[in-house]
Amino acid sequence: MVGDFDLAEEVVQDSLVAALEKWPEQGIPDKPGAWLMTTARRRAIDILRRDKRYREKLELLEHSDLRPDPEEADDRLRLLFTCCHPALSQEAQVALTLRAVVGFTTAEIARAFLVEEATVAQRIVRAKRKIVEAKIPYRVPEGSEVAGRLDGVLSVLYLMFNEGYLSRGAEVSIRRDLADDAIWLTRLVASLMPDQPEVLGLLALMKLNLARFKARFDASGEMVLLPDQDRRLWDRRAITEGLELLERAGAMRATGPYQLQAAIAALHSEAASWNETDWHQIVVLYDALVALSDSPVVRLNRAVALSYFAGPEAALGEVNDLAMSLAGYHLFHSTRAELLDRVGEPALAREARLRALELCQNPAERTLLERRLAT
């Protein structure tokens, strides 16, 4: 409505503050979303009236069609695709969407990208300015427009789920509500684009990973790694749904990175025990993933799988090759520590684990590292 991200964020925050002040005394309105929207709109009009530069935006806002009860699904999809417009670089698309749609802080986005916070802040500012200057419309694209935005949308949903599945922050270990929200949004995109195999692949990946949710932490809240998880706690219904989604995607014969990751998760889900995991097939899938979407993190994960198929010595050499690109990534150092332990280098393993602890913020991961250091 206002054509300005910063102003929109300001007036929405003001309306939320007003709600916190008034609702405890007056009661929650029948349609709280509509109340917030109306309050934000009035606040925007007040701000724009005081600044002559925004006369054109004021006129648009005063004559805008304000729906009394906006549909959250429709609004979030519009905002998601607006932020992922091809006029923006993909890095800017993902950063802006995580900020505007998901509500990540700049620091959280920086951790997800493994970049400096100032870099993310600049990307977001430039992206907001570009949307205003290019007059990018607030709508879900149609026809041939979809392809140019889908990669950015899926990247956002993937990062959103990962943050919920295992947070990079220091406050909580997991954010189940965020992971569930990512699945909900991905389902919306899948309903909009049922013929896009990578959307189905991403949804399958999310379902298969979240199926292990109850087994990932013990009663005291400490993390339980995959080899030690009680597989009886895994959600078999979610696994079945994930496998069906993956099969539907595969029938379209257009393999992509999310389908390959889902296929890897499927092999873990189908193994009756850790020892029965088909590591050879997992390495083959990682080879295909490297060919399609090469990155240091993908190569790190491949090395882990390789260590159980070809031995820790072969994997350690590949991990060491990633030292420059992943020097600031705690999982690089913790993975290297595990491999060093397995090849009989406890002193070097301890050194790597201490570095991982310096870089790690997630409380459950920190506890796990501290426990390994104490043994």
- Name which of 270, 271, 260, 350 is nearest 301 in CA terms: 260
Q: What's residue 65's pLDDT?
A: 56
Q: Is 247 inside any structural domain?
A: yes
Which stretch of 134-148, 157-171, 318-332 has the lowest confidence by average pLDDT?
134-148
Enumerate long-range contacts of 367-373, CB under 8 Å, 24 or more apart: 367/222, 367/223, 368/222, 368/223, 368/225, 369/334, 371/222, 372/337
* pLDDT above 90: residue 115: no
Q: Is 317 inside any structural domain?
A: yes
* pLDDT above 50: residue 7: yes
Q: Is 286 inside any structural domain?
A: no
Instruction: Enter the tokens of residue 231.
Output: 């597989």
- Do 246 and 165 belong together in one domain? no
- Do 42 and 111 belong together in one domain? yes
- Do 180 and 204 belong together in one domain? no
Q: What's residue 53's pLDDT?
A: 58
Q: Is 298 inside any structural domain?
A: no
- Do 265 and 355 belong together in one domain? no
- Do 213 and 261 belong together in one domain? yes
Q: Is 225 inside any structural domain?
A: yes
- Do 222 and 154 belong together in one domain? no
Q: Which domain holds residue 357?
A: 304-375
- Do 251 and 266 belong together in one domain? yes
- Name which of 324, 327, 337, 323 is nearest 359 in CA terms: 327
Between helix 330-342 and helix 312-320 the angle, nearest 10°, is: 150
- Do 211 and 330 belong together in one domain? no
- Do 34 and 124 belong together in one domain? yes
Chain position carrying tokens 């923006």: 88
- Do 100 and 45 belong together in one domain? yes
What pTM was computed for the model? 0.80
pLDDT tens sequence across 60-96: 555 555 554 445 566 778 888 888 888 888 888 888 8
Instruction: Enter the tokens of residue 180.
Output: 């569930």
